Amino acid sequence: MTIGTAFQREPYGPFGAQLYGKTDPQDRGQLFESPEKLLAILRIARDAKWQLSAHCQGGGAIDGFLQALAALDREAPIAPTRSHLIHASFQSPAAIAEMKRMGVLADVQPAWLYLDSPALEKSVWQRRNAVLLPAAFLPRRGHWHRGGSDHMIGHDKNSATNPYNPFLGLWTAVTRLNTRNEVVHAEERITRAEALRMYTTGAAYRHFAEIPGDRSSAVSWPIWW
């Protein structure tokens, strides 16, 4: 997101050149696999009984991955695989609804909202259909996300670009504050209990590591309705 490679639904616009050195005003970021190739790769992985996942930064990347999963879901339900998007920073309402329909999960990094939202303000997250982490913290919408850090081993847990400290992620999920002490979309806040579940039982569920018989992190369990 911060270097302008995340594949968005819309061009980065005039700030793309100023912030990222883009020369094409229609530049939407980088798409590394065509939809056809992505579907072929995922179908092979699905047939090998793998859990399907991809790093999806930007709304365009999210939409493309979900489109491929939807094609597979029409062949056989994808929900039992607990397949998921990694990062998924710009989910649209339509993408959220599609994820809920298929039972697709997301591995999100709340601390990025704290660190990155000021830099993204003009180029991405205030524009139409591109709110940073728009539903990453809304289990009430019927979809539960998993909290993580994307931390790089060898870097400090607090000062790294991707800080490991889970308490920063928990705090950000609850407060929606950034480094300028601004609240970014207050309506997306969750409670401390919900944030804790996102980082514990929610993460365990994604890894098929929940306690046998424990339904506290299952997508369909309506604990917060």
Question: Are the CB atoms for 85 and 53 separated by under 8 Å?
Answer: yes
The pLDDT value given to residue 81: 93
Run of H or E including 168: helix 166-175
- Residue 191, number of CB atoms within 10 A of its CB: 13
**Pairing assessment for the beta strands 84-87 and 53-56 based on DSSP bridges:** parallel
Question: For every one of its 225 residues, what pLDDT tens digit does the chain have, with 9 covering 90 and above?
Answer: 778 899 988 888 877 888 888 899 889 999 888 889 999 999 999 999 999 999 998 889 999 999 999 999 999 999 999 999 999 888 888 888 899 899 999 888 989 889 888 877 766 655 545 567 755 545 555 556 788 888 888 888 888 888 889 999 999 989 999 999 999 888 888 889 888 888 888 888 888 888 776 555 444 333 322
Run of H or E including 45: helix 35-47
The pLDDT value given to residue 141: 56
Closest CA to 190 of 201, 176, 204: 176
Strand ranges across the sheet with 105-108 = 53-56, 84-87, 105-108, 146-147
Dist CA 12 CA 21 (whole Å) = 11
